[in-house]
Amino acid sequence: MAEPARLLEGPASRLCSVVVGSLDTDGGEHLPEVRMSVQTWGRLNEAGDNAVLVLHALTGDPHVVGEAGPGQPTPGWWPGLIGPGCPLDTEELFVVAPNVLGGCRGSTGPSTPAADGRPYGSSFPVLTIRDQVRAEAALADALGIRSFAAVVGGSMGGMRALEWAVSYPGRVRRCLALATCAVATADQIAWATPQLHAIRGDAGFAGGDYYPGPGPRAGLEVARMIAHTTYRAAEELQDRFGPAPQLGEEPLRGGRYAVQSYLQHHGRKLVRRFDANSYLVLTEAMNSHDIGRGRGGVEAALRRITAELTVAVVDSDRLFTPADGAVIAQAPACRELATIHSPYGHDAFLIETEQVFDVISRALQATPPAVRAATPRSLRPSGLW
């Protein structure tokens, strides 16, 4: 394990950078060296089996809990989840939160220098969720983790949690998939399409090779505004803003509506902290998500899961609908299909922490099936490195 880059919350929390080897992608491309950034809490036991993997969503990062600070522009996105006496109790568990492959918070991504010393930019390969999970498995190997007590994720993180349970059934005892799907739907891909076009259509995009310039800032801002609309429920936006003008502005005289100001605020916030190329790579990985690809379909893939499976849906989610979660819950290994009741839409998996943490706590208290000593060859992922 690499030496800690710095401490974020005292000696129990570390941010590390680990080189995990090379990667051959599902698209037939090759990354000669993959580096993974990871934040950890607690200690790994001698058996290497008390780890919990926490997987972030599209524009998240490894900083699950803790304050913002130098080098960390945002506070933790699931405050209260990790620590002594918390749902993920660091007195007992070793909690691992990696930055996703293709991201821009320390793991290898489009802004990372390639072999020629220049950022990959447009030459960075197309990734799948499965590619990202392979990199995370290599990270687990590097950290000495033999199996995970649980893998937890929401949205894009939930896609990776499911892929973990399907690809590595012998290494996952519990899987918690929140506000996610087994295969990307046409509706989800449709919402992503104008986001991708907004970024690529910005003159600052320069074909993806905009470093060290500012890049497609306006395009990324628009992409985030579109995405954020899908993250909230229509009823919440109406109740919160309605057709009211922004304070002190008159739409009929060139001013904005309050909801316009709200979306622009979130778009500009993302531009300050996220790389547009990473947004493209990760969005396209989500578009290609399909646990059934090459496995005989979704139903066959779900039968491969041996981990104790918990699925949670948000009743007002219009992006990853309750029906999407119900498909996952058809897996024979599913022990609970929980519903998060909220007016906030998809973002409720981050907002309604009391309900979400209750689901996580129940799943961890359940007695999981034993991890098999050896995974049958037919279930082992092929062509990993």
Mean pLDDT of 131-135: 98
Domain segments of the chain: what residues?
Answer: 4-184+290-379, 188-286
pLDDT above 90 for 341: yes
**Predicted confidence band at 13 (pLDDT cuts at 50, 70, 90)?**
confident
Tell me the pLDDT tens digit for each residue of 134-193. 999 999 999 999 999 999 999 999 999 999 999 999 999 999 999 999 999 999 999 999
According to the model, what pLDDT value does residue 70 have?
80
Alpha helices in the chain (DSSP H): 129-143, 156-167, 186-200, 217-231, 234-240, 258-271, 276-287, 298-303, 322-328, 348-351, 353-365
Helices (H), 51-185: 129-143, 156-167
Q: Is 382 exposed, middle or buried (0-12, 13-18, 19+ CB in 10 A)?
A: exposed
What's the mean pLDDT when you consider all of the chain? 92
pLDDT of residue 273: 96
Which of these, 112, 200, 155, 172, lies nearest to 307 by C-alpha position?
Answer: 172
Q: Quick one: average pLDDT of 73-100? A: 95
Distance CA 274, CA 162 (A): 25
Q: Which residue has the higher pLDDT, 42 or 371?
A: 42
pLDDT in tens, 247-271: 999 999 999 999 999 999 999 999 9
Name the phi and psi angles at 344, rounded to 5: -90, -5
Number of H helices, E strands in the chain: 11, 9
Whole-number pLDDT of residue 6: 34
Query: What pLDDT, in 10s, does the model give residues 210-223?
Result: 999 999 999 999 99
- Lookup: tokens for 280: 């493209």
- Judged against a pLDDT cut of 80, whether residue 199 lies above it is answered with yes
SS3 label, residue 290: strand
The whole-number pLDDT of residue 71 equals: 78
**Mean pLDDT throughout 282-290?**
98
- CA dist 198 → 202, 224, 227, 283 (Å): 6, 10, 12, 13
How many Å apart are CA 209 and CA 201, to the nearest integer?
14
Nearest Cα to Cα of residue 275 among 102, 55, 29, 71:
102
Q: What positions carry a catalytic annotation? A: 155, 317, 346
Of 43, 47, 42, 36, which is closest to residue 146 (Cα–Cα)? 47
**Cα 308 from Cα 352, distance rounded (Å):** 23
The two beta strands, 51-55 and 334-340, are unpaired
User: Cβ atoms within 10 A of the Cβ of 247, count?
Assistant: 8
Q: Which residues of 88-100 are buried (b: 16+ CB within 10 A; e: fewer)?
A: bbbeebbbbbbbb
Q: In this prediction, what percent of the chain has a pLDDT beyond 90?
A: 89
Closest CA to 159 of 196, 130, 118: 130
The residue that leads in pLDDT, 371 or 45, is 45
Residue 10, pLDDT score: 34
* Per-residue pLDDT at 385 exceeds 80: no
Of 375 and 163, the one with more pLDDT: 163
Distance between CA atoms of residues 288 and 286, nearest Å: 5
Residue 311: its pLDDT value, please? Answer: 98
Average pLDDT over residues 269-286: 98
Q: Which pLDDT belongs to residue 72?
A: 84
pLDDT of residue 370 exceeding 60: no
For residue 367, name the pLDDT band (cuts at 50, 70, 90). low
Q: What is the pLDDT of residue 368?
A: 58
The pTM for the full model equals 0.92
* Spatial separation of the C-alpha atoms in residues 156 and 289, rounded to whole Å: 9
Class of domain 4-184+290-379: alpha beta
Classified by CATH at the fold level, domain 188-286 comes out as Rna Polymerase Sigma Factor; Chain: A (1.10.1740)
